Amino acid sequence: MELLIAAQCSESFDELQQKFKGSLEILETSSSSDDLKIRIIDRICYLLYQDSNFGLVKEESSKNRKIVLFLRRLCKLWIDKIEEYKNSNSDFLAGDVISSCAVERIFSSWLIICELLGESAISEIQKFAKIYPTTLDFCQKLLNNDERCLTTIILLLPYSSRGLEANSIFHAPLIVLSIFFLVDFDTAIIIDWLNSELVAISAFLRILKSFERNWETWRNIDVEQSIIITTTSQKTTEVSQPNQKLELNIIELIGHQKSSKSIQISRKSQQIHGSNHQIQIHCNFATCHRRFQKMLEILAEKLEALRKRRLVPENYTRIIALCLRVAKL
């Protein structure tokens, strides 16, 4: 747990090494649950990938090659029993419970490891393809974590030219269009990603360049998929009872003098009734291209307005220019 906390609080792998003086090899001998180890390796892999400027600085990858090989050995053990994790639905860390994001964590970590080592992940990608019924199902899971979602997109983009079959659920244009489809092509979400996720600018630039380069091929994808999404609705009912108040006594030290005051807060009791509803959503990728281009057009307008008001970095001009080029293809 100490290593997980150190990893989550670190902004680079070097910083993690300074905070955690022990050896990472304790992961191999530790009796901790798989879930804890998967979370730790997921974070370490991301830090290593981030330090390499998301795969652009190869020297950074070679510097930590020994560590990456160690992570590869551990991660391979989980891939060999990936079927055990696919039906897990727990959202918390406890004992031997595996979290609902375990498969996505392992998948993202493996893609990063292969990228840092200059290896292909094609055979493992095919194993993971058996876990998800459709691209939409996979992307719905990815959207549980924005950072992992955008990182995984970057890692999968090159595989369309590395021998990954066009009918694979991990085919790059299907992944990208599914993500945008599931967020309803909402430009506000894209702007939020660009402003809050370190990986977002690199991811979006690579997405746009890939679509510009492969437009004639990718625009002809005619695939239809459906996904069942569970939504939760809540109804609140106030419970009739005597008005209760919570009293807080606050003592404040001003110089050498103590000052005290009391605050009373009214309390209300409520009952919350929740119910789940399942909705089937249908996606026709042939029409998604037009919505994608329209989204880029609107996004370019919004980013340009923000740039003129100096509310976004000046280097957003590259994104704006690419948005407009792809929107006009």
CA separation for the pair 287, 290 (Å, rounded) = 6
Q: Measured at the alpha carbon of residue 81, what is the angle toward residues 79 and 85, in degrees to the nearest 5?
A: 95
Residue whose token pair is 């030219």: 161
- What pLDDT does residue 59 have? 72
pLDDT given at position 216: 87
CA–CA gap between residue 143 and residue 138 (Å, rounded): 9
Q: Please report the pLDDT score of residue 94 as a whole number.
A: 41
Look at residue 243 in the predicted model and tell me its pLDDT. Answer: 62
Rounded to 5°, the CA angle 311-145-68 comes to: 105
**DSSP one-letter string for 309-329:** TT-S-TTHHHHHHHHHHHHT-
Tokens of 84: 């055990």
List b or e across 50-89, with b for residues whose CB sees 16 or more CB atoms inside 10 angstroms: bbbebbeeeebbebbeebbebbbebbeebbeebeebeeee
238-292 residue pLDDT tens: 655 656 677 878 887 776 777 888 888 776 666 666 555 556 666 777 788 889 9
What would you measure as the largest C-alpha separation in the chain, in angstroms?
76
pLDDT at 280: 66
Low-confidence stretches of the chain (pLDDT < 50) are 90-97
DSSP state of 99: B
Q: Where are the domains of the chain?
A: 1-131
The pLDDT of residue 212 is 93
Q: Given this model, what pLDDT does residue 92 score? A: 43
Given this model, what pLDDT does residue 242 score?
58
pLDDT in tens, 12-24: 888 888 877 666 7
For residues 295 and 289, give the distance between their C-alpha atoms in angstroms, rounded to a whole number: 10
pTM: 0.79
